[in-house]
Chain A
């Protein structure tokens, strides 16, 4: 990570990497979606509505991974004072919040035909909604304090504290009786039939690459903006 302490070196790697990640991600999303919508069989119980899975699960993963990234970057900012850490954390907030919202919306649409309800206040749904509120709060905090050192630190502390919600989301279906079903995919096993599972890694990897591409774009934009501001300040002082 220390090699990226120099923003110029970071940019020489990020600039060519962004389109590659974006396009490969888009390609994987298209391939996974075609597989999930047209090739996989319908579920024995839910029929075709199970196909929302191929969007819902990646969105949930990136909503949570996004906040994990914010927390990790915040830690690097507070402990190691890495110059790019706060830029990275801020860049992850918008796409992370967006994927959380997509997860909630697609889950709601999925819940209506299967469970018979758009929304219920069960442990999984509620903790995921809290994650969305955390993202909104992070966005408000960073835009209210942008450009100030103390503001950066407050945002970093908020990013680390908010990570407490991540294990709660993950274990909500184990700790409490919930309407949401238990975990389908573990690290080593899956309760999804192989004939229905295969497009899921494609869309998950695809959305993840797209997420990284968006984060890199936003980081580059933030660095460019910082450079413009510094130059304007120098001109004003001259």
Chain B
């Protein structure tokens, strides 16, 4: 075997071992590195009341209700398998709307309502002009 072939094999083995180690680390991180809980995750894992977490999913259609004080809203987050009611007091991003993606930061209260302290809008990977969008439904993509 020539020296350069020996080096190639050696480096190939090292790279394979490295990629294997990285994949193992990533799969171990799978739960910790998740940026948010979906409603199904939150119910399955019994996220305890008061623990600071993020909740992500779609805002259910016709679920946004404004309370009399004018700045508190209630809405329902869904992943088409489970739903969580959310309450939030404050200003939401422009892209926060029904049938659209949302990530809420906050904690569950004792009754199972998610009390959000911050709302982020999550949009999907599709971009299109308004006249195209008007002709089609714009849901489903965030719920895998």
Spell out A's residues near B (CB within 8 Å). 41-46, 50, 53, 75, 78-81, 113-117, 120-123, 160-161, 164, 167-168, 175-179, 181-184, 191-193, 195-196
A176 and B95 contact, CB distance less than 8 A: no
Would you call B94 an interface residue if the criterion is a C-beta within 8 Å of the partner chain's C-beta atoms?
A: yes
Name the segment of B26-34, B66-74, B108-116 touching the other chain. Answer: B26-34
* Min CB gap A48→B, angstroms: 12
Count of B interface residues, CB-CB < 8 Å:
43
Q: Which 7 A-B pairs have the closest CB atoms?
A: A116-B93, A44-B133, A41-B129, A193-B128, A122-B35, A44-B130, A184-B125
User: Which of B4, B26, B96 is A79 in contact with, Cβ under 8 Å?
Assistant: B4
A175 and B56 contact, CB distance less than 8 A: no
Q: How far is the CA of A50 from the CA of B123 in the complex (A)?
A: 11
| Given A45-B123, A113-B94, A116-B92, A123-B129 contact (CB < 8 Å) | no
Spell out B's residues near A (CB within 8 Å). 4, 7-8, 11, 14-15, 18-19, 22, 26, 30, 33-38, 56, 92-96, 100, 103, 119-134, 138, 141
Residues in A whose Cβ lies below 8 Å from that of B134: 44
Q: How far is the CA of A193 from the CA of B126 in the complex (A)?
A: 8
B7 and A79 contact, CB distance less than 8 A: yes
Nearest neighbor of B37 in chain A, beta-carbon distance: A177
Ordered by A's residue number, 12 sampled pairs between the chains whose C-beta atoms are within 8 Å are: A44-B128, A45-B95, A78-B11, A79-B8, A115-B122, A161-B18, A164-B18, A176-B33, A179-B103, A183-B125, A191-B125, A195-B129
Q: How far is the CA of A155 from the CA of B30 in the complex (A)?
A: 30
B122 and A179 contact, CB distance less than 8 A: yes
Residues in B whose Cβ lies below 8 Å from that of A46: 95, 123, 127
Q: How far is the CA of A176 from the CA of B92 in the complex (A)?
A: 24
Number of A-B contacts (CB under 8 A): 119
Main secondary structure of the interface of A (DSSP, over half): loop
Q: How far is the CA of A161 from the CA of B128 in the complex (A)?
A: 39
B35 and A178 contact, CB distance less than 8 A: yes
Nearest neighbor of A163 in chain B, beta-carbon distance: B15
A80 and B127 contact, CB distance less than 8 A: no
Q: How far is the CA of A207 from the CA of B66 in the complex (A)?
A: 47
Nearest neighbor of B132 in chain A, beta-carbon distance: A193
B121 and A114 contact, CB distance less than 8 A: yes
B19 and A164 contact, CB distance less than 8 A: yes
Q: How far is the CA of A176 from the CA of B82 in the complex (A)?
A: 19
Q: How far is the CA of A164 from the CA of B24 in the complex (A)?
A: 12
Residues in B whose Cβ lies below 8 Å from that of A80: 4
Residues in A whose Cβ lies below 8 Å from that of B131: 41
B127 and A193 contact, CB distance less than 8 A: yes
| Given A41-B130, A164-B22, A117-B120 contact (CB < 8 Å) | yes
User: Which of A42, A43, A120 is B35 in contact with, Cβ under 8 Å?
Assistant: A120
User: Which of B35, B96, B103, B121 is A123 in contact with, Cβ under 8 Å?
Assistant: B35
Residues in A whose Cβ lies below 8 Å from that of B15: 160
B126 and A184 contact, CB distance less than 8 A: yes
Nearest neighbor of A44 in chain B, beta-carbon distance: B133
Residues in A whose Cβ lies below 8 Å from that of B56: 177
Nearest neighbor of B133 in chain A, beta-carbon distance: A44
Q: How far is the CA of A122 from the CA of B105 in the complex (A)?
A: 13
B129 and A115 contact, CB distance less than 8 A: no
